[in-house]
Structure 1
Amino acid sequence: MKILHTSDWQIGRIFRFADDDTLGALQAERLEVIRRLGLLARQENVTHVLVAGDVYEHETPTERTLHQPMERMRQFPDVRWHLIPGNHDADTPDGVWARLLREGAVPENVTVHRQPGPVVLDESENAWLLPAVLQRRHVLADLTAYMDDAPTPPDALRIGLAHGSVTGFGNGEEAEHNPVAIDRAKKAGLTYLALGDWHGFCQIDARTAYSGTPETDRFTTGGGGGGEALIVTLSGPRAEPQITRHRTGKYVWKKLDDVTLTKADDIHALEARVRGIAPDNPGSVLVWLAVSGLLSVDDLALYESAIVRRLSGAVACLRLSGAPHLSAGLDDLERFGTGGAVRLAAEGLLARAQAGGEEGAIAADALQRLFLFWNEVGGQAA
């Protein structure tokens, strides 16, 4: 038997760093990935998709956001979708699940598990689902503990579904809320424990794994940022499950926090590095650059042109923290001529910048802007 394990869709999530166009594209893709999950299930001949919590970002989404994931799942009537509440969309009296069921908006092929206890998943395979259900955002008790004594028929496939933090697995204070025992699968005799809450794939042991979010939603310096779903093959109640990772995300999020620029070659190398993240589709890349360094007037103009303008137009989103600073001296002021108001202003700004302090930093920034503007207009400003 195969199942598809996914979690942390967080429909309606807001990305505050993004402009309106980028935000709209990111939110749309979090919905579009549901279609890719359905197609993956069909491709792998999977009937049951287990969604381990946080379908929604908020407990009170707008009416349209409330219905959007349901309508995407409705498009796959041959797939059974099994949902549990997460910490973002806990099953509160007036929360998303109560609203959906009150409105009769849950499709026939979608099951929202609102009570703990064994549920027949697939009678022909003797497969039983044991869901853990969050009714508040944070609880201190381990809601998977009941699985230890939950009765199922002999030789059943016992599949746990939960949303929380595995204790003692390097997640520090997060494990204080919604804890999951690290050995729950062993203690409860589970064939597989499908977890949600961590946004990147993480396999705890042979029978326990986090799927991560199917569409990446955070900048990382390495891997582990999500964009995957898991196909889990269950060969028997005591056989170790076979876990296969499948790429489902469109966007690649990357953080480069080691960018120091001192010359033109550094700028060209940075541009090539970013374009190389997804050379066939740079529009699928969101990149966060932490930039520092000192550049000459000409190299600073190159940085503005190649990185701030061209590269930001090539990728889906370019997020910058920090910036290279201008390295300028008296010789550079010759660009403004030998006299005139602009030359006098530049001399004054350079003197203040070289004096240092808070005013010096402001003056340096102003002088940098003046050089860039002068380059843009070709020295023809009045």
Structure 2
Amino acid sequence: MRFIATADWQLGMTARFLGDEARARFHQARLDAVRRIGEVAVETEASFVVVCGDVFESNQLDRAIIAKTFEALRAFPVPVVLLPGNHDPLDAASIYDARAFLDRVPDHVHVLRDAAPFTVVEGAEIVGAPWFGKHPTRDLVADACSGLLPTPDGVVRVIAGHGVASTLNPDRDALAAIDVPTLTKVLDGGCAHVAVLGDRHSTTEIEPRIWYAGAPEVTARVEDDPGNVLVVDVDPGSRDVSVVRRRVGRWSFDVVEERLDSLEDVHRLADRLRAIPDKERHAIWLALVGTLSTSSKASLDSALDDAGDLFAHLDLWERHTDLAVLPDDHDFADLGLSGFAQAALDELTAQARSEAAAHEVSGEAGPETVAQDALSLLYRLAGARR
């Protein structure tokens, strides 16, 4: 039996850090990833698709998002099973009970509303652990598995859960964590063949029969391996399980770290950014440290302005950026400033050096750099008029 496991579509995700144009493309990319999951199901001849929670970003979404989701799902040639998660739980305001959902849901799309084994196709059952609120106080997967009997002969049983696994959770006493030893006993006891989970957006193997599918499109810069779905093969006789990642995501979120202490370093960073492909689907956070002259900082600002026009998002990660600007007497020597402009330059230079000295004494990242930034701008403006 072969099926597709996926999770954390979070359709309708706001992505407020993106500009309006990039945000619209990001929203569309998430729907496009759903369509590619259907294509993978065709290519691999999978029998069904199970989505392990957080299909939608929240229970309060525009009906157009639901309509577009169903338009994408109508192209799937196999049943699609949805598990409510923490973003879209089966609470009083559940999106799965909204008229916009109930009136349009395709016949081959099913919602797991309880833990009863659901026969998705002949020879395959799914035992789901749906969320009924955002803050459960118990292990929902353990509850769903507590009454399971051994799997009937010739039937593949899949456990679909959502939440953090106990082996990954730094808070080992969290009441809602999925207890991995308990889940392993269920699998060892023959009550299920494989468990697929959602909530962790990076594709992760907990053990050969317990996997996080990961999000089909990246959602945050801290994710290690997003953008995948899992193609799972289960032999009901031998109970062998094979899991293969399939890439469906197109977007990338990355942190670029560089030390900048010279103009050559600035050029190296600019070359690195130029070499990144698919910039329109790439969000970059820069973590920059070092010390630059005013002219080198102006070159950096210019390079980042140019790159920012191409990337979906390009910004400094302030918490991890510690870049000082020390005015060099040669920086402004050839600009021919006089009068008020020269007076402003002298005042800004003195203040910038004071800022740098204060930062050196405190040793704290992220100093106030008003004068340093003003000097960079003055250098660029004065240079542009030459």
Query: TM-score higher than 0.5 here?
Result: yes
**Cα distance in structure 2, aligned partners of 1:343 and 1:110:** 71
Residue 377 of structure 2 is matched in structure 1 by 369
Distance 1:178 1:238, change over 3 A: farther
Residue 6 of structure 2 is matched in structure 1 by 6
Residue 259 of structure 1 is matched in structure 2 by 258
1:112 shift after superposition: 0.8
**Are 1:144 and 2:159 counterparts?**
no
CA contact (8 A) 2:79 2:120 kept: no
**Are 1:226 and 2:233 counterparts?**
no
Which amino acid letter does the alignment assign opposite residue 79 of structure 1? V
1:2-151 matched pairs, under 5 angstroms: 2-76=2-76, 78-100=77-99, 103-123=102-122, 126-145=123-142, 146-151=144-149
**Cα distance in structure 2, aligned partners of 1:338 and 1:144:** 71
Residue 243 of structure 1 is matched in structure 2 by 243
Residue 219 of structure 2 is matched in structure 1 by 217
**Cα distance in structure 2, aligned partners of 1:149 and 1:96:** 29
Which amino acid letter does the alignment assign opposite residue 120 of structure 2? L
CA deviation digits over 1:240-289, x for unaligned, max 9?
Answer: 31100011100121112x322111221222233334443xx333322111
CA deviation digits over 1:70-108, x for unaligned, max 9?
Answer: 2210122x2210001000000112210111577422111
User: Structure 1 runs of 4+ off > 6 angstroms?
Assistant: none
**Are 1:172 and 2:170 counterparts?**
yes
Which amino acid letter does the alignment assign opposite residue 230 of structure 1? L
Q: Which moved more, 1:9-18 or 1:147-156?
A: 147-156
**Cα distance in structure 2, aligned partners of 1:247 and 1:363:** 47
Residue 291 of structure 2 is matched in structure 1 by 294
1:177 shift after superposition: 5.5
Distance 1:129 1:325, change over 3 A: same
Count of residues in Structure 1 that have an aligned counterpart in Structure 2: 368
1:349 shift after superposition: 1.6
**Cα distance in structure 2, aligned partners of 1:360 and 1:119:** 59
Residue 310 of structure 1 is matched in structure 2 by 306
**Cα distance in structure 2, aligned partners of 1:200 and 1:54:** 14
1:370 shift after superposition: 1.1
CA contact (8 A) 2:196 2:213 kept: yes
Q: Unpaired runs of 5+ in structure 1?
A: none
1:159 shift after superposition: 0.7
**Cα distance in structure 2, aligned partners of 1:317 and 1:349:** 31
**Cα distance in structure 2, aligned partners of 1:90 and 1:328:** 56
CA deviation digits over 1:207-259, x for unaligned, max 9?
Answer: 11000000011114xx7241000000112254231100011100121112x32
**Cα distance in structure 1, aligned partners of 2:306 and 2:213:** 36
Which amino acid letter does the alignment assign opposite residue 215 of structure 2? T
1:340 shift after superposition: 1.7
SS of the residue 1:176 aligns to: coil
SS of the residue 1:106 aligns to: coil
**Cα distance in structure 1, aligned partners of 2:287 and 2:57:** 28
Which amino acid letter does the alignment assign opposite residue 195 of structure 1? L
Distance 1:160 1:218, change over 3 A: same
CA deviation digits over 1:21-55, x for unaligned, max 9?
Answer: 11111111111111000011101111300000000
Distance 1:158 1:175, change over 3 A: farther
CA contact (8 A) 2:293 2:328 kept: no
TM-score between the two structures when normalised by the length of structure 2: 0.88
CA contact (8 A) 2:55 2:84 kept: yes
CA contact (8 A) 2:295 2:331 kept: no
Distance 1:373 1:275, change over 3 A: same
Sequence identity of aligned pairs in percent?
A: 27
Distance 1:330 1:319, change over 3 A: closer
Residue 198 of structure 2 is matched in structure 1 by 196
